[in-house]
Structure 1
Amino acid sequence: MKKLMQGFRIKSILLPSLSENYSYSPSKSLVSWIALYSTVSQKKAIAPKPQGGNSILANYLIGSFKFSKDKALSVSSKFSHCETLERPKQAVKFFRGLGFSNAHIRAIANGVPRLLFADTENTLKPKIEFFQELGLSGPLLGSFVSRTPCILYCSVERCLKPRINLIRNIFESDGRNRSIESVNDDLFKTITRCGRIVLAKHTLESNIQYLKSCGVVGSQLSSLLFRLPRIFSLKHDKLEEIVSRALAMNFTMGSRMLVHAIHSLSCMSSDTFKVKYGIYKAFGFSKEEIDLMFRKSPYIFGLSVETLRRKLEFLLNDLKLSRSVVVQFPGIMSLSFEERVAPRYKVLEILKLKGVLKKDPSLSRAMCLPEDKFLETYVQPFQSEAEELLLAYNGQILNT
């Protein structure tokens, strides 16, 4: 007890505010001293920190990069030790010398402000040179860096090279035997579309291995990486959830269509997918029919909710197509109704009405033919009806 009281006496010496107002007295209870010390400690803990940033830096950020006042003060407060603008001006000069636009530099400063204080020779230059060796330069390099500025803090040897090589290997080993120039071109476009995949090595490796285990290999894997690289930066459980949704619609592991389902499902939330699924059901399609259409043409769910509703309305109510025809040829949902579906359907209807066809034409074949082939097959052979057919095809009698 005596040692404990001595400890409190020492504390009173170290705390002027406490010792000036209260003289130490052994007669005071231990509880009183503990309560008093606790109160003083709490006041010190909750004392507000001084506000306000580095005014020199704040004004520079506002004037040069259009920062808001709050943003400028917030950033400058983290660099209160900065007494001059030498480092930021060096960084800006460095980026401008690379051909970066003011918009690129502003995005870098806004995204990762500490890059303005980075050592240009030892921190920035090695990463820039690495990307220049890959073929990125000027505005293209500026666009890439400004979208993912934190990439300039990655180690070239430990991070950038291994991840870039991992991505390049997918393009090199996809079985298409392409030239180095073609592989590099795909590599550049991929990392500029989604720089995040270069930042997450373990996620990238894990997702590549998982997709391969699902049967997405070779050219399918490289095509998915090229077209939608952000899939490879998803959290692993999110990617597994997307694949599970595809399997629930009777896709199978190793199916050539599975990669298209993954692509389509990854472009919308599960809630949006449910809304679109509900629209098909509202038009009378059964679950089995919807799943079958999705397996045949996974991108039919890529339409917006309003476009999907409008196209089904047109097919089923205006053109009077049966649901079985749409189920048989779901790809029709992905075609332009104004430029292709409506005019071609009218031409086919006129030909059937006049009885000049030996057999009913295949709707899917007629819709998928190039324009010159369609005219060659369904207009030119019927000279007596050609004028009427062309009028229908050009949209002048679509409502008759």
Structure 2
Amino acid sequence: MHLLRMSIRFSRIPTFGNFSTLQAPSVTSYLTDACGLSPAAAIAAASKISFISGSRKVSSKHNPDSVLAFFRSYGFTQSQITKLISMYPRFLLSDPVRTLQPKMDFYLSAGFSTSTLTKLISSDADLLRSSLKNRIIPAFDFLKAILHTNEDVVAAVKRSTWIFHVNLEKKMEPNINTLRSIGVPVGSIAKLAKIHPSVLMQSTGRFGESVERVLKMGLSPSDAMFIRALHSLSSISAVTLKRKLEVYKSFGLPEDKILFCVKQKPMIVNLSEENIRKSFGFFMEMLKWKPEFVFSSPVLLTLSLEKRLAPRFSVYEILLSKKLWGEKSIVRRFFYLSEAKFNVRYLLRFQDECPEILETYRAMRGQ
């Protein structure tokens, strides 16, 4: 089907010849006119293509028009093609049927949708540069042995296309074995591989250090929160972690309480020091909440001050001024509610009594 579609499109496209017969100015013009590159990007790309095509014989199969037609036949938009050629102009020297089509067909047969695939490839050209036999298929098979379904493998690749850059048996398997050796359940390992595959592709030394830090926190490997903590701690150094904990301590919170909350909501160690201070400042100054009360629900600290906390507080102030606030005080669930539920419960419900409430809320959110 793809071959038929490609042959039809190829026949309708004027031939520019191969790059071995084009001079640098012609190559540059082709890159701007046919590929959509900017003049500066075209000049940079032309030097690479001209150098290669001038140093070896380029057969008639390496027709740049056929490469562009190939990408279009697989659903790439013009902007995606431009981005792809800018990243790796040597694609224009490819024999698409021999080198590109087998990879595209494999990805599609594995369960990648056309829209997903074109988006991923236009952001990471190595998905078409890596060896199908030696890298792509082995990586896919390795992950499927862990995740069991093509759908979950696709989900993992969408999280990190680096999966097809490395040898997973050498890069990921040692770290998986480490988790198995300490008793992390198979299901938890699979979840980590699907949602945060990059964690499992860290060097064994760095990965081992992260595992040790999570264990020292007192989390059991069998606890579902273990892999969440591993993900959070693996992205920061021991020095950075210590500095974050010091920020929390500066609000008078005891270390044991802080560590307890980190175990409940590990991602609070990934917040910037500035955001930690701003969030605590908001709760303590605007709501008069004590640090202990804030920390009793650590998820509060992960909510955006600009998009969630401040805009909703403005709604609270309006309702309070109109004597429409039914609670004794502002409650935490006011900030927890999903956007859809918040709209129904507070914005739409009181729109007649407070016409300005929706406009104020949207303005605060920058909408």
Q: Using structure 1 for the length normalisation, give the TM-score.
A: 0.63
Match for residue 382 of structure 1? Answer: none
Match for residue 296 of structure 1? Answer: 264
Aligned with 2:249 (options 281, 284, 295): 281
Residues 59 and 73 of structure 1, relative CA distance in 2, 3 Å threshold: farther
Summarize deviations over 1:96-125 as a string: whole Å, max 9, x none.
111111232233323333332222222112
Match for residue 106 of structure 2? Answer: 130
In the alignment of these two chains, the number of paired residues is 307
Aligned partner letter, 1:186: D
Aligned with 1:245 (options 194, 202, 213): 213
Aligned with 2:155 (options 177, 181, 189): 189
* CA distance, structure 2, for counterparts of residue 292 and residue 368 of structure 1: 21
Residues 139 and 320 of structure 1, relative CA distance in 2, 3 Å threshold: closer
Residues 245 and 96 of structure 1, relative CA distance in 2, 3 Å threshold: same
Summarize deviations over 1:326-364 as a string: whole Å, max 9, x none.
4443333335534778959x9797279xxxxxxxxxx87
What 5-or-longer segments of structure 2 have no aligned partner?
Answer: 1-22, 343-349, 361-367
After TM superposition, the structure 1 = structure 2 runs for residues 118-267 of structure 1, keeping only pairs within 5 Å, are: 118-172=94-148, 183-200=149-166, 201=168, 202-267=170-235
Aligned with 1:76 (options 38, 44, 50): 50
Aligned with 1:337 (options 309, 318, 329): 309
State the secondary structure of the residue aligned to 1:244: helix
State the secondary structure of the residue aligned to 1:231: helix
Deviation of the 1:310 alpha carbon: 1.8
RMSD: 3.9
After TM superposition, the structure 1 = structure 2 runs for residues 3-22 of structure 1, keeping only pairs within 5 Å, are: none
Aligned partner letter, 2:150: N
Aligned partner letter, 2:30: Y
Match for residue 328 of structure 2? Answer: 350
State the secondary structure of the residue aligned to 2:233: helix
After TM superposition, the structure 1 = structure 2 runs for residues 4-153 of structure 1, keeping only pairs within 5 Å, are: 54-63=24-33, 64=35, 65-66=37-38, 67-81=41-55, 86-153=62-129
* CA distance, structure 1, for counterparts of residue 186 and residue 312 of structure 2: 34
Deviation of the 1:158 alpha carbon: 3.5
Identity of matched residues, %: 26
State the secondary structure of the residue aligned to 2:252: coil
Residues 114 and 169 of structure 1, relative CA distance in 2, 3 Å threshold: same
Deviation of the 1:309 alpha carbon: 1.2
Aligned partner letter, 1:350: K
* CA distance, structure 1, for counterparts of residue 44 and residue 137 of structure 2: 38
Match for residue 23 of structure 1? Answer: none
Using CA pairs under 8 Å that are at least 6 residues apart, name the structure with larger relative contact order, 1 or 2: 2
Deviation of the 1:131 alpha carbon: 1.0
Whether the 8 Å CA contact 1:55–1:76 is kept in 2: the answer is no
Match for residue 13 of structure 1? Answer: none
Whether the 8 Å CA contact 1:98–1:137 is kept in 2: the answer is no
Whether the 8 Å CA contact 2:185–2:222 is kept in 1: the answer is no
Whether the 8 Å CA contact 2:144–2:150 is kept in 1: the answer is yes
What 5-or-longer segments of structure 1 have no aligned partner?
Answer: 1-52, 173-182, 353-362, 375-386
* CA distance, structure 2, for counterparts of residue 61 and residue 272 of structure 1: 46
Whether the 8 Å CA contact 2:28–2:42 is kept in 1: the answer is no
* CA distance, structure 2, for counterparts of residue 350 and residue 301 of structure 1: 32
Match for residue 381 of structure 1? Answer: none
Whether the 8 Å CA contact 1:58–1:76 is kept in 2: the answer is no
Match for residue 12 of structure 2? Answer: none
* CA distance, structure 2, for counterparts of residue 116 and residue 217 of structure 1: 47
Whether the 8 Å CA contact 1:90–1:120 is kept in 2: the answer is yes
Deviation of the 1:271 alpha carbon: 5.8
